[in-house]
Structure 1
Amino acid sequence: MEIIREKEYDTVMKEMVEPYLKKHGKSGYISSYDGIGKIHVMRYLTENPKGVIVICHGYTESASKYDELVYYFLQAGYHVYLPEHCGHGLSYRLTKDPSLVHIDNWKRYVRDFLYVCEYIRKKHPDLPLNLFAHSMGGAIGGIAAAWKPEWFYRVILNSPMIRPRTANIPWVISASVAGVQCLLGKGEAYVPGQHPYDASETFETSASTSRPRFERFNNLRKSHKYMQICAASYGWLFASVEMSCYLKGRAWKMYRAPMLLVQAEEDDYVCGNEIYKFARRIQKYKGASCEFLYLPGTKHETYSCDDKAMEYYVNRIMRFLM
């Protein structure tokens, strides 16, 4: 598959991709699993589909970040559904702070996601459902695929949050502090070092290795308040701890669908060695086939890299989905 080249990226996205997505896409809402809010879902339908892909996005992300990848999936013959998690994008939130990512319980993420997947399966009962899950979404999707292994035909965990990085603070200390703060009723407080959105992110400090790809979403984010989430609460941090424990303790034994785990070379957001160890556990257990893809020269957002890496990455994913 031909990818969009960096030198013509802005032009092609504006003149070809965005109109195409507008024509094939539809915005809608589905109730959360417990009915307390609405989950925003983008639906994109292609002609003569051979399958469906549901994208499980990452921490602080929103649907627009995946426009390029959605376009490739549509071109390859897949319907695409992209729900925005609680606290993200246009979905319901559990805090009034527009910058804060907060959750009351990690199972809310998984149950909401599976609720959407159940809706997709009912809409397209004759098409195989594939999962592409990135970062925090890799943890959510990784658990969802363990809870409902029979639902998914192929599973891609892209830079999955098997364990998040916690800056210079040891993981055990971060986990313990988060748990204590939640017990003290401070789950909605900012984790130290986090702050409200100030539009200060730069390409050099980003998780991307493609300036045009980074700048497109960064400019969209500056223009849309609902995209400006950027900081973690203690509640979110403790949820990430519990998801990590579940993934490493139980989930790896429960998979049945063929899997592809992707690790970036330079990842400042999740622990790369934990992704590799997770893949090895799945491979040794043999409940599901598992391929491991290491991408040299990339950062956390492997779907936002330079032309050479992007072309290899996109085509590797397409071959896996076949």
Structure 2
Amino acid sequence: MEIIQEVKYDETMKTTVEPYLKQRCISGYTDSYDAVGKLHVLRYQADMPKGVIVICHGFTESYPKYDELVYYFLQAGYHVWLPEHCGHGWSYRLTKDSSLVHIDTWKRYIRDFLKICQMAKKEYPNLPLNLFAHSMGGAIGAIAVSWKPEWFQHVILNSPMIRPHTANVPWGISASVSTLQCLIGKAEHYVLGQKPYEASETFETSASTSKPRFTRFNERRKATKEMQTCAASYSWLSNAAKMNTYLMRHAWKKYTAPMLIIQAEQDDYVWTSQIQKFADKIKKHGIAECEYLYLSETKHETYSSNDETMDKYINKILAFLQK
């Protein structure tokens, strides 16, 4: 697969990728699993499909962040479904604060996501279903697969949030404090140190190692309120801790499909040691085949890396999907 080069990145995205995606995209809404709100779902159609890939996006992300990756998957012959999680993008929210990611229970994420996967399976019953899941979506997707292992042909966990980083506060304290804050009625409050969107992120402080890739999304985010989620509520953090416990104690035992777990060298958003421990459990005691890809000179958003890394990264993913 030929990778879009950084030197012509913005031009190529505007003149080639965006028109290509627009022609193949169906954007719509469906009820959440409990009909509390509407999930925004994008469905992209490949010309000669050999499978379906469902993308499970990360914390504070929205669908435009995956334009380049969707383009590669379509070029390789995969339909792509991309739902936006509760509290993200154009999907329903449980809080009026557009900057805040808030959830009542982690199981909402899983049940919403599995509903979309079931819809994809029903629409394309003869095509294999594959998962690409990043960061928070890695936790959601990894649990979803453990609930329905028979649905998935291949599973890719990209910088998965087995455990989120909590700045300089030890994990045990962060998890305990967030649970306490929920108990005293502050579930919807900002986690200490986090604040509303200010459009202040720079390339140097970002999770990307490709300035053109970072800039394209960041400029659109500045202009679009639906893309400006940037902070966690105490309830979100408390539920992230519950997902961590479930993943490490239960989920890893259930997998049957081949798995590819990808780790960035420098990751300020998730604990890489927890990713390694999770993969080791699967390799040593699980049922599924598990590959581990370590990407040097990368940050958390491995899909937003320099050209050399992107070439290695994308072609590894596509080769894995062919296994």
With normalisation by structure 1, the TM-score equals: 1.00
SS of match in other structure, 1:186: coil
TM-superposition CA deviations, 1:19-75 (whole Å, max 9, x none): 000000111111100011000001100111000000000000000000000000000
Letter of the 2:126 partner, please give it. D
The residue aligned with 1:88 is 88
The residue aligned with 2:140 is 140
> Which runs of 5 or more residues in structure 1 are unaligned?
none
Cα deviation, residue 184, structure 1: 1.0
The answer as to 2:257 corresponding to 1:257 is yes
Cα deviation, residue 239, structure 1: 0.9
Cα deviation, residue 286, structure 1: 3.5
The residue aligned with 1:303 is 303
Q: Distance in 2 between matches of 1:272 and 1:185?
A: 32
Checking the alignment, whether the CA contact within 8 Å between 2:254 and 2:286 is kept in structure 1 is no
The answer as to 2:71 corresponding to 1:68 is no
TM-superposition CA deviations, 1:259-313 (whole Å, max 9, x none): 0000000000000111111111101124100000000000000000000011000
The residue aligned with 2:5 is 5
Q: Distance in 2 between matches of 1:185 and 1:114?
A: 30
SS of match in other structure, 1:303: helix
SS of match in other structure, 2:193: coil
Checking the alignment, whether the CA contact within 8 Å between 2:252 and 2:286 is kept in structure 1 is no
Cα deviation, residue 4, structure 1: 0.1
With normalisation by structure 2, the TM-score equals: 0.99
Q: Distance in 1 between matches of 2:171 and 2:276?
A: 18
Cα deviation, residue 129, structure 1: 0.2
Aligned residues: 322
Counterparts of 1:1-322 in structure 2 under 5 Å?
1-322=1-322
Q: Distance in 2 between matches of 1:261 and 1:185?
A: 37
TM-superposition CA deviations, 1:76-132 (whole Å, max 9, x none): 000000000000000000000010000000000000000111111100000000000
Q: Distance in 2 between matches of 1:203 and 1:219?
A: 11
Letter of the 2:187 partner, please give it. G
> Which runs of 5 or more residues in structure 2 are unaligned?
none
Q: Distance in 1 between matches of 2:121 and 2:90?
A: 23
Q: Distance in 2 between matches of 1:51 and 1:285?
A: 29
Q: Distance in 2 between matches of 1:185 and 1:168?
A: 25
Quick one: percent identity of the two aligned structures?
67
